[in-house]
Structure 1
Amino acid sequence: MNGTNQKNISQLGFAESILAWMINQLTRDRSDRVIRRTQLFLLVLTVLLVTLALSYPNLKQPYINLTENGPYGIGRSAPDTLVAVTDVEFLREKSFEQARENARNRTPLHITLDYGLLRDDIQYPDNVATWRRLRTEDMQIQRECRSKQDWKQIWYCARSKSKRWRRLSLDEFKELTFLPYAAQDQMQQRALNLVFTHFVVLKKTPEGSNKVLYDNFNGDQIVIHNLNHASSAKPEQLSREALIKPDELWRTRNLEIVEQLISEHIPRTSLNQRSGLARMSMGYMYELDAARISQSLTDEAQQEAISAVKRSDHTYKIKRGQVILKKGDIITEEMRRSLELHQEKRTLEIVKRILSILIQMVILTMLMLYFALRFSAFSFRDLSSNLIVFSSVWLFALMLVLLEKAWAGRASEFELTHFFGSWVPVGIFSVLLALIFGERLTIALAMYISFLVFIASKYDGLSFLVAIVMSLAATILGSRVKRRFQFITTALILSGLNVLLVIAGYLYSNRPLFGWSLDEGWISDGLEKAVLIALASGLSTIAVIGLLPIYETLFNIPTRFKLQELADPSHPLLRQLFQQAPSTWTHTLMVAALSEKACERLKLNVMLTRTGVYFHDIGKMKNAGFFAENKHLIPKDENINRDKPHVAARVIIDHVLDGLTLARQYRLPKEVIAFIPEHHGTSTMAFFYHQALEKMKRKVDREDFRYPGPIPQSKETGIVMIADSVEAASRTLDEVNEASLNALILKIIKIKQSEDQLDESGLTMGDLKVIQEAFKDVLISSYHHRPKYPDQQSTAELEANQASKGRGRKKTSKKNAS
C-alpha cells in the first residue's frame, strides 16, 4: 500500500514538473524579434488552417470513377444515383450544328427579278432579250407566215421560225393569231405580267455556289427583289412552288396554274386562247432570263437565321441538387459527358472557392491583427497571448468543421428550418476571450469569428447577423462577469437573444411561425426546432466555467477570478509577508488603497492593480528587519551595517530581485510580477546615494544606487510607483493637510518625471492630475484627527461627583418641605 502511494506521489510530482515546464515555456519572456516572427508564423498557419476548415464542405465530396473501364462507362447500368453538387451545363454540339444547318437550308432563297424587261421605256443592250424585242420578232413571223394558204401551213411556218410557237397546238395557234395584232399583244402582255407576278423561272440550272444553295434549299418560301425598285423597297415573298427550273417549265401543273390565273384576270378568253397564252408566257419567261439567285442576299439571310438559333435551346443543363442519373439507368453518351463535366467543373470550382476563401482569410486575418495591435498592443507582447488568440481561432475553425459536417448531412432540411449562425456557439469564445483580454481586443476577434460564420454559412446574411450580434453581446457581458454565478445569467441572456434573432429571421424570410393544426402545436415544427438549437447554443456559454481554469493554468492568465484568488490574504506568500514583515504589509495595504482609488477614477484595471500591489514588496521578507517600517518590530541587531551605503543599497536592490525570484517560484502571472521591478523603475535611492557622496572618498557611481528596472510599462504600474513613494513620504510630514499633501504628491510626481520614470507608462498630464486628487483624498481620510478618548478612571470620578450632587439636592428639598 505504501509503495502504491509513493508511486502515485512520484507520478503526481512528475506531472506537476511537466506542467510547470510547459507553463514556463509558454509564459517566459522573449525578445520582440522572436515575438514578431512567431506572430508571422501563427498568422500564416491560422490563414491556412481556417481556409482548410471553411473549404471542408467543398473538399468532402464523393469520388466518381470515370475511367474508361469504370462503372460509369457508356452503355453500363448506373451503380448509384448521383446528385449534382454544382451546376452542369454543356452544348449538345450535334443537335446545335444540325439546328444551324436546318436554319441555313430553310432560309428563303433571295432572287432578283428584272421587271424592266417587260417595259418599253427602258433601254437594254442589243444582245439582251426583252419582252418587246421577242414580241416584235413573233409578230413579224406571223405576218410572214400569213401568206400561206391555210392555217395548218401558217402554223407549220411559225413553228419552223420560232421555238415559242412550237409549244402551241394548231387550235391554240389559230385562236390566238386569229385576233388582231393589237388584241394579241395586249392579251399576251397581261398574261406575261401574271406569270411574272406569280412565278420565277430560271433559264439555267444553278451552278457553283448557287447550285449548292438551290440543292440544299428546303424552305417554304422565296424572296423576290425587284431590280427596278429602290433598295429600301420591301421585297415580295412567294411560295417555294413559284420557283421553276428549266426542266420544270412545261409541267402540266404549272401550265394549269397559269391558265387559271388568265381565266381569272383576262375575261372572255377561250380555253385554247388561255392554254396558248400560258405556253407563250412560259416561253417568254424562259427567254427573258429575268431571274437570278442572289448569293450575297441569301448568304446574309442564312447568317441571320443561323444566328437566331439559340445555344440555350440546345444546352444540357443540370442545376445543383438535381439528379444527374438514377441507379439502374443505362448510361448514354450525354450522361457520360455530364458526369465528366461535373467532375471537371467541381474540381475547378473547389480550386476557385479555396482560392477565394484564402484571399478573404488573408484580408480578414490581417485586419484582425491590425486592430488587435492598434488598440490592444500590450496583449500581444508575449507568446502566451498570441497563442491564446490564434489557438482560439483554430478551435473555432475546428468547431465550424464539425458543425458544417452535421449541417451537410441534412442541408436541404436544415436550410428550411434553421439558420446556420444560430448553431454556432460564438458566446463561448467571446465570453472567454473577453475575460482574458477585455472588450477592445475581443471586439476585433468577435468580428473576425462572425465573418468566419458568414463564410461557412455560404454567405447567408441572417446567419451573419446572428453571429455578429451574439458575439458582440457576449463580449460586452463577458467583460462584466465578476462572480461565478454571472456565467449562468450571461448564458440565459444570450439564449434569449439568440431565440429573438431566430424569430426575427423567421419573420424576415416569411417562414411559418405557427402550427396549422392542434397536433402540431401552437408554433410550427421548424420554429420549435430552431428555437431549441438557439437555446442550446446560448446555454453552452456556461462551458466557459470549465474552460477558463484550463487557460488560466496553461497560460498563467491574470483573469479577474485568478486575481481574486491571488489577492486572498490566505495566499502563502501574502501570509508569509504579514507574518515576517507586518509593517511592510501595512504599507502595502496603504499603497493598495491609494492605487485603487486612482485606477477607479481613470477606469483602469483595479483588480490587477490591487493584486500587483499586494505582491510588490514580497522581496523584503528575506531581510525584513533592515527596512525602516519593520525595524522597531525586530529587536535583534541586524547583520547589515546601514552606515555602509553601498552595502545598504545592495540589500535594497536585492529585495526587488528576491521578489522576482519568489514570484516566479510561486508562478505568479507576469502581469502581476511586473509590479515588483516597475514600481521602483530605474530610480535612484537618493538617501543612500547622498550618504555615499558624503562619506566615501573614492568616486561614487550613481548606477550602483539605481534600481534595475524596467521603468513602468503600464498606467497601473506607473500609479503604483507614485503611490509607493507618496505613502512612505507622507509619514514624514509634520502637519497633514490638503496643502502639504498636494505639495508632497506634486513633488514626488516631478521627481519621477525628472528621472524619466513615467515616459513609457502611458500616463498623461491629465491622468497625473486625477492621480494627485485621488491620493490626496485617500491620505486625508487616513490621517484624519480623532477626538481623544477619556480613560476609565476619569469617567468613574465624574460619575461619583454626579451622584454626590444628586444626594445634596434631595436633602434640601426635604428641609424646605418641613
Structure 2
Amino acid sequence: MNKRTIQNHFKTDSFSFIRIWNKFQSRMPSFFSTPFFILISTLFVVALLFPYTETVPSFVLPKIGEASRETIIAPFTFDIVRTPDELEREKKKARDQVLLVFDFDSNVKSQVQARFEEIQNSLNRLFMTDTADLAWMTIYNSLSKKLSENTLKQLLIRPELLQIASEQSQEILEKRISSVLLVQSADQLQKLRGRYNTAFNNYQVYDLQFITLRRDSVEMIIGTQDLSVKEIALENAISRLKVERKLDAAALNSIYELLLRCINPNVLINEKETSLRRNKASDEVPEILGKVIKDTEIVRKHQEVTAEIIQKLRSMQIVLDKMGDGQEKRKVAAENVGKLLLSLLPLLFAAVYIKKFEPRLMKNNHHLLALAMLLCIQVAILRAGLALSPKFFTGSVEMPYFVPEYIIPVSISSLLAAILFGINLSLILTLFTSSFFGVLMGFNHFFFIYSLLGGIVAGLFGSNVRYRLHFFKVIAPVGMINIILITLWHLIGLKFTVLSLVQNYILSLSGVVISVLFAMFLTPVFERLFDITTDMTLVELSDMNHPILKRLSIEAAGTYNHCVLVGNLAESAALKIGANALLARVASYYHDIGKIAKADYFVENCLTLDKSRHTGLDPATSAAIILGHVKDGLELAKKNKLPKVIQDVIIQHHGNSTMSFFYEKALEKHSEGEVKEQDFRYPGPVPQTPEAAIIMLADSVEAAARSLGSSSPELLKELVKKIIKDKFIASQLDQSDLTLRDLDEIVEGFMPVLKGIFHSRIEYPSREKEHKGVKTE
C-alpha cells in the first residue's frame, strides 16, 4: 500500500477512529491537553515500559561434563566474575609473567679501570722507593690490604700480570655481567656449583627465558642466556689465558684475584621496579571477565556443560543469593529507581529544550502529543525487541559473538521526527532513545553510541525526504555507519569470528530496513491524526495538475499566475530567513483559491479595468464579495482535505487588514456614521507563522508591483519596504515570530524575483513602425 492509498484510506468517512479521536479531544478537559499533562503522561508510559530488575528463584548448578537438564536464560544482566581462588591464581600467574628488570651501569668499566690504575700507581711508587725507606713499607702495607701476599709478590716479580688482568677486565666488561645468577631450578644451581666450585650465594630461580634491560632510558628485552655472572666470567677468562698465554698456576691465581677484587657487575637487578611492575600486573587482573546480557541463553537443554558455562552460572548464582535478603532487595529497588531516573533525564532535557527553543510547538498540543506518542512507540519497540530478539535469534557455541539485539529498529523515532518535525527535534529524540537503549542494554556504552550515531544519520537524511523513494536512500548511510561501528567494536579485544560478523551485519541492516518500513507506514498515520504536514505532502500539493490548481488555472487564470508569482516571492524570502521555503511556496499556490467562485470580480482576471464587475456596485457589496474569497477558499480547502497549515494560510494571508479602496469609496458615497469599518475589514486572524506572514507580504508586494508596470529596481525596493512597514505598523506581523532583521532579509529575498518579473525588454523595430502607423507583415 503506497502513501497516497494510505492517505486516501484515512480520508474516508469509514475510518471511524478519526471521528472518535476528534470527539475525545473536543470533550477532554483543558488540563488534559496541556503540555504539562502530556509530559507527565509520557513519563508515566516510559516508566511503565521500563524493564525493572526482579528477584528470581535459584536453580540447580550442573557439573562440568554433564548434559544440562534445562535451558537456562539470564533473567537479568550480570557480570561474569572469578572465584577468590581463581582470582588469586590469575594474579600470581600475572606476576610470574612479568620479566625481571635489570639496569645497565655504564660507569662500571671506568670504575674498574680506575682501580687497576690505582694499583699500578702504588706499584710504581714501590719500584721507585728504596726498600729501606719507611715510605716503601707504608705503600706495601696499603697494597696488602687490597691484595693477598702471594699476589703482591707475583706483581713485584712480574708486574706485567697487572696489565694482563686490566686488559681481561675490559674484555669481560664488554659482556653483560649480572649481579645475580638466574637459574630455572635448584638442580641447575647444584650443577653450576659443582662445575665451577663456587657457592653462587646470590641467585634467583627464574623460569622465564627473557629479562628487561634498561640502559640510558631505553628498554630492551634480552634472553637470560645473554647474561653471565662474575664468577663464571672469571673462570672462563682464566681458562682462556691458560691456553693462550701458557701462564703458570701462581700467575693465573694472581690474575684471578685481581679480577675478582676489581670487577663489579655492570647489569644490576632492580628489585623495586620489578616489584612495582608485578604489583601492577596483579592489579590489572580483572575480577570481572565479561557480562551476560538479560535474556541471553547461557546453556541449552542437553548441551554439554563447560567450564565457561559453569563460570557464568556461578556468577548468576552469586547475584541470586544476594537478592535473597532484604538488604539486597532494597538495593535492587534503589537500582531500579536510579536506572529509571537516569533514563528519564534526557526526556526532561528534551522538554526544557522544546519549551525554550520551540515556542511554536509549545502552542500546538496536537504536535506535542504526536511527539510524545512517537517517543512512546519507540520505547515500546525497544522493549519488545529486547525481549523477543534473543528468542528468535540465538547464537551457538560456534558463534559466541552473535548479537541478536542488532535487529532492534532503534532509528524509527529519529527518522519519523526528522520527517514530521525537522532535524532539531529528531536529534533531541535521538539523544533520549540512545540513552534509554544504553540503559536497557545494561549501561553498555557501545549500544548508546550505536543508537546515537545511527539515529543522527537517520535524522540528517530523513529531513530531506520529499518523495516515498527517498525513504530507501536512508538505508545505505545508516547501514554503513552501523556496520563500521559493529566492526570497530568487535575488533576491540578480537571479539569476533568472520561468520558472526557477517550475521551481525545482516541483523543490523535488517533493523535499519524495519525502521524505514515503520517510518513509511507511520508517516501518513501521524499526518492525519495530528494535523501534521510533511514535505512529501507539500510536494504532492505542488503538482500543478492537482484538481484545485487545475481548476484555478482554467477558471481564474489571472489569480493562478498571481499565486505562482507569490509562491516564487515567498519561497525566496523564506530561504533568506531560514523558514520553510517549500511550505511558503505551496501555501502560496492555494492562498487565493476562494477567488474561483467569483473569479471575474477580481482585477487580475479582467483584461481591462473598464469592464470590472464592480462598476455600479455599492462599495459594501463589493467589499463583501472580496471578503468572501477567504471564506470560500477555506470551504474549498476543507472539502478537498487540504492540510490545516494550508487552511491557516488561506484565512491569515490578509490578517485583519482593511480594504481601504472600497472603504474610502463608501465614505465618499455615504456619511461617516453610516459606514462601519468592520464591514470592510478581513476577519483574520493575523499571520501566526513566519511562512503565513511572508505570504501576506508577497501577496501585497506582487499586486502593488504589478500596478506600477515597468519600474526601476530602486523604486521596487522602496515599494517593498513601504508595504512591509505599513503591515508592521498595522500590527499584522505581531504574532508571526518575525524579527526586524527578518524583515530586512525578506526585502532582500523579494528583490531578485521582482527584478526577474519586471526586467526591461528591447522594443523591436516592427513595433516601432506600428506605432508610427506603418503596416508591417
- Normalised to the residue count of structure 1, the TM-score between the two structures is 0.57
Q: Are 1:472 and 2:468 counterparts?
A: no
Maintained 8 Å contact 2:11/2:641: no
Match of 1:374 among 350, 353, 356: 356
Partner of 2:494: 511
Partner of 1:388: 370
How many residues align structurally? 522
Partner of 1:576: 551
Q: Are 1:404 and 2:400 counterparts?
A: no
Q: Are 1:52 and 2:48 counterparts?
A: yes
Using the alignment, how far apart are the partners of 1:32 and 1:713 within structure 2? 25
Distance 1:669 1:683, change over 3 A: same
Displacement of 1:645 after TM fit?
Answer: 2.2
Partner of 1:39: 35
Residues 463-512 of structure 1, C-alpha deviations (whole Å, 9 max, x = no match): 1111111111111111123343332232011111100001111233x133
Maintained 8 Å contact 1:580/1:621: yes
Partner of 1:776: 751
Using the alignment, how far apart are the partners of 2:602 and 2:411 within structure 1? 50
Residues 417-454 of structure 1, C-alpha deviations (whole Å, 9 max, x = no match): 25687443223321221011111111111111111111
- Structure 2 matches for 1:460-609, cutoff 5 A? 460-508=444-492, 510-513=493-496, 515=497, 523=498, 525-543=499-517, 544-609=519-584
Partner of 1:761: helix, strand, or coil?
coil
Displacement of 1:693 after TM fit?
Answer: 2.2
Using the alignment, how far apart are the partners of 2:426 and 2:457 within structure 1? 11
Maintained 8 Å contact 1:487/1:541: no
Using the alignment, how far apart are the partners of 1:19 and 1:687 within structure 2? 47
Displacement of 1:565 after TM fit?
Answer: 0.9
Residues 712-769 of structure 1, C-alpha deviations (whole Å, 9 max, x = no match): 1222111111111111111221541112111211111111011011122222222222
Q: Which amino acid aligns with 1:659?
A: G
Displacement of 1:634 after TM fit?
Answer: 12
Maintained 8 Å contact 2:634/2:647: yes
Partner of 1:738: 713
Q: Which amino acid aligns with 2:546?
A: H
Match of 1:715 among 690, 698, 715: 690
Maintained 8 Å contact 1:425/1:541: yes
Using the alignment, how far apart are the partners of 2:745 and 2:362 within structure 1? 28
Q: Are 1:680 and 2:654 counterparts?
A: yes
Maintained 8 Å contact 2:584/2:691: yes
Maintained 8 Å contact 2:378/2:412: no
Using the alignment, how far apart are the partners of 2:20 and 2:706 within structure 1? 40
Residues 176-223 of structure 1, C-alpha deviations (whole Å, 9 max, x = no match): xxxxxxxxxxxxxxxxxxxxxxxxxxxxxxxxxxxxxxxxxxxxxxxx
Displacement of 1:793 after TM fit?
Answer: 14
Partner of 1:424: 408
- Structure 2 matches for 1:188-587, cutoff 5 A? 342=324, 348=330, 351-407=333-389, 409=391, 417=401, 422-508=406-492, 510-513=493-496, 515=497, 523=498, 525-543=499-517, 544-587=519-562
Displacement of 1:689 after TM fit?
Answer: 1.8
- Structure 2 matches for 1:652-801, cutoff 5 A? 652-699=626-673, 700-733=675-708, 735-789=710-764
Q: Which amino acid aligns with 1:500?
A: I
Residues 82-115 of structure 1, C-alpha deviations (whole Å, 9 max, x = no match): 8985799xxxxxxxxxxxxxxxxxxxxxxxxxxx
Maintained 8 Å contact 1:51/1:361: no
Maintained 8 Å contact 1:421/1:454: no
Maintained 8 Å contact 1:47/1:362: yes
Displacement of 1:604 after TM fit?
Answer: 2.1
Residues 32-85 of structure 1, C-alpha deviations (whole Å, 9 max, x = no match): 9938744333322222222232226x35x76689xxxxxxxxxxxxx9898985
Maintained 8 Å contact 1:436/1:557: yes
- Structure 2 matches for 1:622-661, cutoff 5 A? 622-632=597-607, 638=613, 643-661=617-635
Partner of 1:758: helix, strand, or coil?
coil
Displacement of 1:379 after TM fit?
Answer: 3.0
Using the alignment, how far apart are the partners of 1:582 and 1:15 within structure 2? 29
Identity score, percent: 29
Partner of 2:656: helix, strand, or coil?
coil
Q: Are 1:611 and 2:586 counterparts?
A: yes
Maintained 8 Å contact 1:47/1:358: no
Distance 1:341 1:628, change over 3 A: closer
Unaligned runs of 5+ in 1: 1-11, 66-78, 89-318, 328-334, 516-522, 796-800, 802-818
Unaligned runs of 5+ in 2: 1-7, 60-68, 80-290, 303-316, 771-775
Partner of 1:426: helix, strand, or coil?
coil
Maintained 8 Å contact 1:368/1:445: yes
Using the alignment, how far apart are the partners of 2:377 and 2:735 within structure 1? 35
Maintained 8 Å contact 2:606/2:612: no
Using the alignment, how far apart are the partners of 2:74 and 2:604 within structure 1? 82
Q: Which amino acid aligns with 1:465?
A: I
Partner of 2:252: none
Using the alignment, how far apart are the partners of 1:503 and 1:632 within structure 2? 70
Q: Which amino acid aligns with 1:387?
A: L
Distance 1:32 1:13, change over 3 A: closer
Using the alignment, how far apart are the partners of 2:655 and 2:29 within structure 1? 24
Maintained 8 Å contact 2:343/2:435: no
Partner of 1:109: none
Using the alignment, how far apart are the partners of 2:700 and 2:488 within structure 1? 58
Displacement of 1:635 after TM fit?
Answer: 11
Using the alignment, how far apart are the partners of 1:426 and 1:596 within structure 2? 35
Displacement of 1:787 after TM fit?
Answer: 2.7
Partner of 2:516: helix, strand, or coil?
helix
Using the alignment, how far apart are the partners of 2:335 and 2:738 within structure 1? 49
Residues 127-155 of structure 1, C-alpha deviations (whole Å, 9 max, x = no match): xxxxxxxxxxxxxxxxxxxxxxxxxxxxx
Using the alignment, how far apart are the partners of 1:553 and 1:473 within structure 2? 26
Residues 274-326 of structure 1, C-alpha deviations (whole Å, 9 max, x = no match): xxxxxxxxxxxxxxxxxxxxxxxxxxxxxxxxxxxxxxxxxxxxx99999xx9
Using the alignment, how far apart are the partners of 1:380 and 1:642 within structure 2? 50
Q: Which amino acid aligns with 2:554?
A: Q
Displacement of 1:357 after TM fit?
Answer: 3.8
Q: Which amino acid aligns with 1:511?
A: L
Maintained 8 Å contact 1:376/1:440: no
Distance 1:468 1:612, change over 3 A: same
Using the alignment, how far apart are the partners of 1:782 and 1:771 within structure 2? 17
Instruction: State the superposition RMSD in angstroms.
Output: 4.2
Using the alignment, how far apart are the partners of 2:756 and 2:679 within structure 1? 38
Distance 1:454 1:633, change over 3 A: farther
Using the alignment, how far apart are the partners of 2:322 and 2:737 within structure 1? 65
Residues 379-429 of structure 1, C-alpha deviations (whole Å, 9 max, x = no match): 343343123211111211221122221356589979962568744322332
Using the alignment, how far apart are the partners of 2:722 and 2:31 within structure 1? 39
Using the alignment, how far apart are the partners of 2:581 and 2:419 within structure 1? 14
